[in-house]
Structure 1
Amino acid sequence: MSRGTAIAYAIGLPLSLLGLIFWPAGTIAWRPGWVFLAVLISGFGASALVLAWVNPIIYRARSRFQAGTKSWDKALLAVILPAMVAVLPVAALDAGRFHWSVVPAWAVLSGYVAVLAGIAVTGWAQAMNPYFEPGVRIQSERHQRVIDSGPYRFVRHPGYIAALFLFFGMALALGSLWALVPAALAAAVLVLRTSWEDQLLRAELPGYDDYARRVQWRLVPGLW
């Protein structure tokens, strides 16, 4: 990523978050929105610093969709990404402006726990896996191999369980039950993506089928 692109990301992403939260809320004085932003930016900022130290190549891997990304994955992401983004304005409309739902404090707190857990787990997965790209493909030009250390000892797709934590955690942290609707849509399609990616890896990545026999669970140990 060029310096100009990095600066654009550093400026554009926070401004986008401000727009997604405070414009639907109808006021920039919505305190829960500022608390949420502070936690989110601090969490991802700390994760980025750690990754820059332990696995800096991940930034090149995740900077763009690479050639060979499966067309079915692009179609799934065309649903997942907008649904994930929609969590924020829906939550702001609900909790910040119209107050359609009432979320108890313990649920809001659990949402923040889920958000931080999601950031931690996805950071851990990226730290251990240099092939952690935004799109699904076999990275033959990088001599992709099976990663079975770190969180990959417990589940085969730790980045996806982290995403589920984030989807639902963001909705609850912002105090909205209605935002669980786009979160659930994103989660459902992500589970489908997990299944299809797992089938691809079993068929085309050497050693993955043996790994899948050792680590039985895709997302949730003891469940699936």
Structure 2
Amino acid sequence: MRPLFTRNSKNCSASYCTRKFNGALTFAIGEWDYRNYHAFAGIFFLHDGVRNKPVIASVYMPTDFFHACRSDQMAFFLDLLVSVLSLAIVGQYTWSMRAHFHSATMPPGAMLISAVVIATSLFFLSILWIEKQPIGAKLVGFGLEIASLALFWWAITASRAARLRFAFDADNPDSLVTEGPYLYVRHPFYTSYAIFWIGWGIATWSIWAVVPVAGLIAIYVVAARDEEKKFSTTALAGPYEAYRQRTGFFWPRVRG
């Protein structure tokens, strides 16, 4: 088997998949550790100036370098996974503004939230791909985003018939939802948004992520307080007060 020594190579190998390696397309068919080196055997398509020629060869590289390459590949995969999930969730938030929430016009407060969401999304994407983050931070962030998405759709299902309005809508509420996640918290949508931004912020592993996350949560708190104040001026004031006493604001109430 022809050996290809790549000790000083800046490219990375990959097991059981197709990768570029020193300009050659590689199909790895086996790998092993030998002393301080990692090796794998496969078929390389080497370009000889005229055409690509298949060559069965073995590749050797320092073990620490190989594992560093593997770590980089995992980081890239997680960056991609978090980015796709995050953008998909933001896309579903956008969908809900058209298909689930119903207001005659979009209030200025809701426009502000949309602008901050867009800016924060671009900021977090930049940090995620420019800076390096611990794999554990990305996994935790990914898990929190999944949890936020589950809560979001639970709230969608429970409030589908209520015709909820945008945040900061001037009209008073005319319905009270007490099913699904509303059994535990009064504002499950805002809770899901908060969990999502906290998760994405953790995934970026940047101290600067605290600023937009804190800002968005503060806006959600103001919007929720505004909605609760409107309930006090409607015929639902009594039922809402009883509901408020047995549920939490953003988090479930801890009962003694």
Name the TM tier (shorter chain). Answer: 0.5 to 0.7
8 Å CA contact retained: 1:109, 1:173: yes
Which of 118, 125, 144 is the matching residue for 2:155? Answer: 125
Question: Match for 2:230: what amino acid?
Answer: L
| Cα distance in 1 between the residues matched to 2:246 and 2:217 | 26
Partner of 1:149: 179
1:66 aligns with 2:96: no
The two structures have a TM-score, normalised by structure 1, of 0.63
8 Å CA contact retained: 1:124, 1:150: yes
Question: Match for 1:185: what amino acid?
Answer: G
Partner of 2:221: 191
**Backbone CA RMSD of aligned residues:** 3.2
Which of 99, 105, 113 is the matching residue for 1:80? Answer: 113
Question: Match for 1:65: what amino acid?
Answer: S
Using CA pairs under 8 Å that are at least 6 residues apart, name the structure with larger relative contact order, 1 or 2. Answer: 1
Secondary structure in 2 matching 1:132:
coil
In structure 1, runs of 5+ residues without a counterpart are 1-29, 49-56
8 Å CA contact retained: 2:86, 2:200: no
Q: Deviations over 1:125-181 (max 9, x none)?
A: 110112333343335xxxx43111111111111111111011222222344442332
Partner of 1:93: 126
Deviation of residue 218 (structure 1)? Answer: 1.2
Change (3 A) 1:202 1:128: same
Question: Match for 2:121: what amino acid?
Answer: L
Which of 140, 147, 153 is the matching residue for 1:110? Answer: 140
8 Å CA contact retained: 1:107, 1:173: yes
Aligned positions, number? 172
The two structures have a TM-score, normalised by structure 2, of 0.56
Partner of 1:210: 242
Question: Match for 1:187: what amino acid?
Answer: I
Structure with the higher fraction of residues in strand conformation: 2
Change (3 A) 1:41 1:85: closer
8 Å CA contact retained: 2:159, 2:177: yes
Change (3 A) 1:116 1:158: same
Change (3 A) 1:159 1:205: farther
Deviation of residue 59 (structure 1)? Answer: 6.0
Partner of 1:36: 82
Deviation of residue 43 (structure 1)? Answer: 6.4
| Cα distance in 1 between the residues matched to 2:112 and 2:97 | 24
Which of 182, 191, 196 is the matching residue for 1:161? Answer: 191
Partner of 1:24: none
Structure with the higher fraction of residues in helix conformation: 1
Residue pairs, 1:7-22, within 5 angstroms: none
Identity of aligned residues (%): 20
Change (3 A) 1:182 1:41: closer
Change (3 A) 1:39 1:205: farther
Question: Match for 1:147: what amino acid?
Answer: V
8 Å CA contact retained: 2:82, 2:138: no
